[in-house]
Structure 1
Amino acid sequence: MAEHVEDARTRIIDPRPRVKYLQGHVPRAVNLPLSEVYDRETLAIHSEERLPEIFGKVGVDFDSTVALYDSYDGQSAAMLAWLLEYLGHPRVMILSNYIEGWVKHGGQILYRPVPAEPKIFGKKLGRRGRALLNEVLQGGDSKLLDLRSEDEFQGKVSTEPRSGHIPGALSLPWTELIGKELQFLKPQQELRERIGEVGVNLSDRVITYCSNGPRAAIGYVALQQLGFENIQVYDGSFHEWARKPDLPLEQGTIQENPRVRPVAPAASPCVVENLPGMAPAE
């Protein structure tokens, strides 16, 4: 991140709420709170026409590299990174440490807001990375990963009219992917082992979901770090599914965990960048 702070071609984005941004941010970082990409009434992300306008207003275009950072637990950065890739942006990265880690390792913090320099950000959609309701209903040979808590998965708690999980889903709480000591994600070897235990192969088509997207986006980024290439986020998630009374739900912990091949390391499109002088999280 330090080298990108001085690079005018890099647009640094702080996705935290405005009040957190003003309490201290990375130099040159503009503020784009995650809430800005959601429709406040429906809780759905804005349209494919509106999203490029939102990113363009904070200076994102296809000629720039986008660097994101976050506080615990990285949901906002992960969600914006996924959206940018869905819109076709080719160079997106997330700081491997939270901003608290940036400070701990001597990174500079500023307090005045950075004015954005608007750009024209088009879109190059290839339908890559996003699953809509009809694709989840079709199922096929995809593996459906539920990134909510175990209690949400089992139906013990819910913020929706109905509780439980989408039939056939595998439970992988997002907290089992989050790192320790200010690290965004766990080391890759730990991620491989946990995802293998769930029953997911590197060659699988995977659809992640949660309540309305951000935790599912953490799953998307984590799987990318392990070399998964066929991953989609169902951003409508449980919020959309549970509000359709004709759609089935399951409760409890019933899920299959077939024997799987080890997940092999590979390069990933959405880069989780390490701080200068720190070893990669392997």
Structure 2
Amino acid sequence: MASFVSADWVRERLGATGFVVIDPRSAMRYLMGHLQLAVSIPYKKLSDPEGKLLPISQLAEALGWMGLGDSDTPVIYDGHDGRNAAMLAWVLEYLGRDDVHIMDVTFQHWVAEGREIFYRPVEADSQNFSAQERPQLRAALADVSADSSAIVIDLRGSDEYAGDDENDERPGHIPGSLNIEWNKLAGDKGQLICTEYKARSLLEAAGVRPGDPIVAMCRSGVRASLGSLAWRRLGYDVRLYPESYLEYMASGLAVER
């Protein structure tokens, strides 16, 4: 499970041997300012043109090419809503890493405190990244079907869940799924994600109990990763469905509105 660390902890390790600071925001955001020696690894570089997660071998190759090696400890930071950091952290854990660290405050908070930022892109040296898949962290289409015992939590917006979003070819949601909007898990006052109390309260209000198996999904997996991160750190059994509603609505399975 990824560990949350303070801004001071991150500052003390900037440029230190054995640590790679990673900026998972868009390339444009990265160029507008980033932490010292931070390498840019936006999620788009880990997905195909349709937004689907790359195969494991290609993920390992991409991460190594962008500068993260087997002996490097990844330290991730993010902007105001945390979903990019959550998704990258999940990818790394899915590929077998147990040394993932996430800065617990946002990049904006870092800047507001007067901490130093840099603008020149960092050209990272290619490294060897070895993947050891952890299939227990990932859900598939069969895990959200009618005969699945898991509680499916849809973290899209309420309009998407209700079927009011015209961007979907088959608007609606998976029958029996619950809706907890992803942005309720985002932090405030400079914190990257919400408090543990709030994360637990959202599940309790939805009727989810400790020990219930959870599948987190959205439209393409990124927003749902915030739920996976917030609830797994509380000890809940959460699997992420990276293909999410994009795959489900194309499968021909029933959709509810």
TM over 0.5: yes
Letter of the aligned partner of 1:17 in structure 2?
Answer: S
Q: Distance in 2 between matches of 1:61 and 1:204?
A: 35
Structure with a larger share of its residues in helix? 2
Q: Distance in 2 between matches of 1:233 and 1:159?
A: 23
1:81 matched residue in structure 2: 89
Aligned residues: 248
CA offsets 1:193-239 (integer angstroms, 9 cap, x no match): 122111212211110000001101001001022122x2111111011
Q: Does structure 1 conserve the Cα–Cα contact (< 8 Å) formed by 2:24 and 2:77?
A: yes
2:174 matched residue in structure 1: 166
Match of 2:16 among 7, 10, 31: 7
Letter of the aligned partner of 1:215 in structure 2?
Answer: R
TM (norm. structure 2) is 0.92
Match of 2:186 among 178, 189, 193: 178
1:226 matched residue in structure 2: 234
Deviation for aligned residue 1:23:
1.0
**Matched residue of 2:84: which SS?**
helix
Find out whether 1:216 has 2:224 as its counterpart: yes
2:196 matched residue in structure 1: 188
Return structure 1 stretches of 4+ with deviation > 6 angstroms: none
1:39 matched residue in structure 2: 48
Instruction: Please report the RMSD computed on the Cα atoms of aligned residues, expressed in angstroms.
Output: 1.4
Gaps spanning 5+ residues in structure 1: where?
A: 252-282
Find out whether 1:238 has 2:250 as its counterpart: no
Within a 5 Å distance, the mapping from 1:135-174 to structure 2 comes to 135-137=143-145, 139-174=147-182
Q: Distance in 2 between matches of 1:115 and 1:139?
A: 48
Deviation for aligned residue 1:162:
0.8
Q: Does structure 1 conserve the Cα–Cα contact (< 8 Å) formed by 2:22 and 2:75?
A: yes
CA offsets 1:7-61 (integer angstroms, 9 cap, x no match): 2211111111212111110011001121111111x32111111000111112222
How high is the sequence identity, in percent, across the aligned residues?
A: 33
Letter of the aligned partner of 1:92 in structure 2?
Answer: V
Q: Distance in 2 between matches of 1:21 and 1:139?
A: 44
Gaps spanning 5+ residues in structure 2: where?
A: 1-9
Letter of the aligned partner of 1:35 in structure 2?
Answer: K
Q: Distance in 2 between matches of 1:14 and 1:72?
A: 13
Q: Does structure 2 conserve the Cα–Cα contact (< 8 Å) formed by 1:30 and 1:114?
A: yes
Find out whether 1:247 has 2:256 as its counterpart: no
Letter of the aligned partner of 1:140 in structure 2?
Answer: S
Find out whether 1:24 has 2:7 as its counterpart: no
1:59 matched residue in structure 2: 67
Q: Distance in 1 between matches of 2:136 and 2:95?
A: 9
